[in-house]
A and B are shown apart, each in its own frame.
Chain A
Amino acid sequence: MSALRNYLNKVKPNFEEGGKLHAFRSLFDGFETFLYVPNDTAKTGVHIHDAIDSKRIMSMVVIALMPAMLFGMYNVGYQNALAAGTLASTSFCEMFIFGFLAVLPKILVSYIVGLGIEFAWAQWKGEEIQEGFLVSGILIPLIVPVNCPLWILAVAVAFAVIIGKEIFGGTGMNIFNPALLCRAFLFFAYPTKMSGDQVWVANESIFGFGNTLPDGFTMATPLGQVGAGTEVTASLNDMILGFIPGSIGETSVIAIALGAILLLWTGIASWKTMLSVFVGGGLMACCFESLGMTSITWYEHLVLGGFCFGAVFMATDPVTSCRTECGKWIYGFIIGAMAVIIRVMNPGYPEGMMLAILLMNMFAPTIDHFVVERNISKRQKRIKN
């Protein structure tokens, strides 16, 4: 262990100002702080600090995403086998490996493009690398369809990192959730690759794993079926377990719930936001159900599509959501309600979670403004009395 430390200490001067590898300073810094907790000690203010830092927080979110990712990989293989009719003859491992091979390139593209830009940006600005993209980089592959081509994914990641985050000042300063912005970019720039009934099931065999499906094979998501007015073929069991077509990580309610438990237990995600998204969505879906405007029940609205995934991993993003406690209730409630409204009332978009969250990202500062303003007017009243 100390050999590694000594080696790092030995090569460190090369990366400092005037060193021959100075152009890679941010990269070295990134790896050094990744390997070792920085030994910098407090210069001003408090002399002791809590052990929590943003690296730990982001790592926890990534860990929370693991169940959804692993299940997503398995489900990719499962859907492929189901479509080819070989479900009975394909083993669990084969399905998982096929899914792994199908999903891995997306994760790699997302991280390489995104982190590449982050490293370059940090070097250019002379700052430390911020960890925010660790989370965005794994979120992005999980919210796209499995057939999304890699090159457009790369373009979208670059767009999200540069336009969505860095120009605002980096992690902590962005207005929109970068992962959702990435998806919105794909959704509006390449609609045929992001929705419809041809993108949800992997249709090419990889290294002998999986099956190549015939051209023109179609399979809609349950929400797609609802939108098209056809009958929903999936059972409630499959919806909760996640054996339905959909974006890679969003299908299994169980896997997402495991992540939610970790996020809530560590206090990284706000339970207020999370709960109020479900309350808002549930109430709105109940209204539509009682009015007969939607063909599925209110609880199916909550378990289908990106609702759970959005509520747990996207709406709770501390940077882009409301920062005041009271604001979090309002923010979450409107996201839930809005997502269901878009699903039911807008014939163009079968799914509304992404748009609902992006919309509320925009209004979060406004909600906070009114909450803070109440505190300010209380203070001003005190002066008058």
Chain B
Amino acid sequence: MAFIQDFHLRKGLDIRLKGKAEEQKIQLKSNGKYALVPDDFEGVTPKVVVSEGDHVKAGDALFVNKQYPQVRFASPVSGKVTAIERGERRKVLCVRVEADAQQEYVDFGKKEVVTMDGKAVIESLLEAGIFGYINQLPYAVSTNPETMPRAIFVSALRDKPLACDFEYEVKGQEQDFVTGLMALSKIAKTYVGVGKNSTLKSQISNLENVEVNVFNGPCPAGNVGVQVNHVAPVNKGEVVWTIGDPTVVLFIGRLLNTGKLNLTRTIALCGSEVLKPVHADMLVGEELSTLLSNSYDTAHHVRVINGNVLTGRQTSKDGFLGAHSSEITVIPEGDDADEMLGWIMPRFKQFSVNRSYFSWLCGKKEFEADARIKGGERHMIMSGEYDKVLPMDIYAEYLIKAIITGDIDRQEQLGIYEVAPEDFALAEFVDSSKLELQRIVREGLNILRKENA
């Protein structure tokens, strides 16, 4: 048995929300509409390589990263390219594909991972168009094959509110996961973070060049950035590859084991507005209406989120499953709530970490949260709020202030290379000044990336 290190995290917060998906899967009937959305791949400027009317197989590239054209993004299905939707300044919004009745796959050939070296692994991932699913620190963007990483970090712990449990998803696909990890470990030393009750760890702890770490603590212990910070923080000038969405390891494993691209993932349909919260298998880019029809009361004003309530993106019934979304969350929009005198009322239904509300009395009660901000934006007033939910060796308030003031030297000193916007999601949730922390961090990282390019 290999050595498994335990990390106990105290800081953080598990938000208990209503509408957790049951461990049960429903079968969906696809309506044939698919689309790959470039915005799902942070930091990628897409260059579309197909035109309307083209026929693609599952595994053929739809667009590439303009800066690194060898990084291709593959179509999840075979079919006809029906539209390339563009927005302001001709920004590519999505590439739509109408699926064939009979699916055809590009054959990339089965591989013996044991005999491969890192270069060969990268080549196969690039060829199959899933290399771009790997992210990197610094900047928390989709990575490129030109800089070799110091290490690769995989978080197999999903602990955001209502998230689809990866241990549940991986059941029956353990071999693919192991193959995926073995492939990654050929590129660089691979660290896998798992939760304390993980059953996976015994199967992966003996792999060569793979280190398993147990992260025991509240959300965001499952954030890959938090895990990097605890195991071996990123220094200026270094690059680590991060896989915060462990399903990507399954994609890699399936590709190498079968020679085909299979972007199927398990989705939790969750949230307080969902009538029957369950799981389902879907392909990346599948239209959400297959999942969402008749799943919630359309008389209510709801918000559909591609992903979880902390880091997900707002979408609608006609949206497409995000590349990294492990759940589709439906919560009340709440813009018709009209709550009176919120500054003094007890507001028993509201969740708060602050004891001026009574959620501390409610034990394990699950709350129904809507999308209201519940306050006006202010300057940073309270101190120490962020630090309580950010288990990293970082002075969050000072870093945020350095980003707001655009002081790049200070940002570097305070450790901006170690953070991703999602690490600030809980801080944004608890913030009494209601600052848009994830947006601020993302903009700061983008500016820094441009400056350093």
Contacts and interface: CB of A to CB of B under 8 A. Distances in A.
B353 A50 contact: yes
Closest 8 CB pairs of A and B: A53-B375, A172-B379, A37-B342, A51-B350, A323-B383, A55-B343, A48-B369, A45-B438
Interface string B356-383: 1100000000000111111111111111
A170 B376 CA distance: 14
A167 to B, nearest CB: 14
Interface in A160-179: 169-173
Contacts of B350: 51
Given A55-B375, A323-B384, A44 B336 contact: no
B309 interface: yes
Contacts of A60: 356
Interface size classification for chain B: 35 or more
A247 B387 CA distance: 37
B338 A38 contact: no
A131 B257 CA distance: 61
A57 interface: yes
Interface of B: 15, 17, 161, 233, 235-237, 303, 305, 309-312, 314, 329, 331, 333-344, 347, 350-357, 369-384, 387, 393-395, 397-398, 413-415, 425, 428-434, 436-439
Given A45-B439, A171-B379, 6 more contacts: A38-B374, A46-B309, A47-B305, A54-B432, A54-B433, A55-B375
B338 A48 contact: no
A50 B432 contact: yes
Nearest to B161: A48
B353 A52 contact: yes
Contact of B381 (A172, A325, A375): A172
Interface string A32-49: 011111111110111111
Q: Size class of A's contact patch?
A: 35 or more
B374 A50 contact: yes
B339 A37 contact: yes
B312 A172 contact: no
A34 B343 contact: yes
Nearest to B432: A52
9 contacts: A41-B334, A51-B354, A51-B357, A55-B342, A56-B432, A58-B343, A169-B379, A171-B379, A379-B415
A54 B378 contact: yes
B341 A35 contact: yes
A372 B379 contact: no
A325 B235 CA distance: 25
A263 to B, nearest CB: 10
Given A172-B378, A172-B381, A318-B381, A52 B354 contact: yes
A51 B381 contact: no
Contacts of B375: 37-38, 49, 52-56
A130 interface: yes
Contacts of A270: 383-384
Given A55-B343, A266-B355, A41 B338 contact: no
A382 interface: yes
A45 to B, nearest CB: 4
A214 interface: no
B248 to A, nearest CB: 23
User: Which of A42, A55, A59, A319 is most buried by chain B, counting CB atoms within 10 A of its CB?
Assistant: A42
A51 B384 contact: no
Given A46-B309, A318-B382, A39 B372 contact: yes
Candidate in A50, A130, A319 with the most chain B CB atoms within 10 angstroms:
A50
A1 B339 CA distance: 10
Contacts of B237: 383
Contacts of A34: 341, 343
Given A323-B383, A325-B387, A50 B340 contact: no
Nearest to A47: B309
A52 to B, nearest CB: 4
Contacts of A37: 337, 339-340, 342, 372, 374-375
A172 B431 CA distance: 14
Given A45-B425, A321-B383, A376-B414, A267 B342 contact: no
Contacts of B312: 47
Given A39-B336, A48-B15, A59-B343, A325 B414 contact: no
A16 interface: no
B351 A50 contact: yes
Contacts of B383: 270, 318, 321-324
B228 to A, nearest CB: 13
Interface in A341-376: 372, 375-376
B379 A173 contact: yes
A35 to B, nearest CB: 6
Contacts of A190: none
Interface of A: 1-2, 5, 33-42, 44-60, 128, 130, 132, 169-173, 265-268, 270, 318-319, 321-325, 372, 375-376, 378-380, 382-383
Given A44-B436, A265-B355, A375-B395, A53 B376 contact: yes
Contacts of A130: 378-379
Nearest to A9: B338
A56 B303 contact: no
B425 A46 contact: yes
Contacts of A265: 355
A5 B333 CA distance: 19
A241 B335 CA distance: 49
A54 B331 contact: no
Given A55-B343, A383-B235, A39 B338 contact: yes
Contacts of B355: 265-267
A256 B356 CA distance: 18
B403 to A, nearest CB: 14
A45 B437 contact: yes
Contacts of B340: 1, 35-37
A49 B434 contact: yes
A37 B436 CA distance: 19
A377 to B, nearest CB: 9
A267 B382 CA distance: 10
A49 B376 contact: no
B439 A52 contact: no
Nearest to A265: B355
A297 to B, nearest CB: 34
A45 B17 CA distance: 18
B235 to A, nearest CB: 5
Contact of B372 (A40, A57, A267, A322): A40
A378 to B, nearest CB: 8
A47 B74 CA distance: 30
B354 A36 contact: no
Nearest to B378: A54
A319 B381 CA distance: 6
B344 to A, nearest CB: 6
Contacts of B414: 372, 375-376, 379
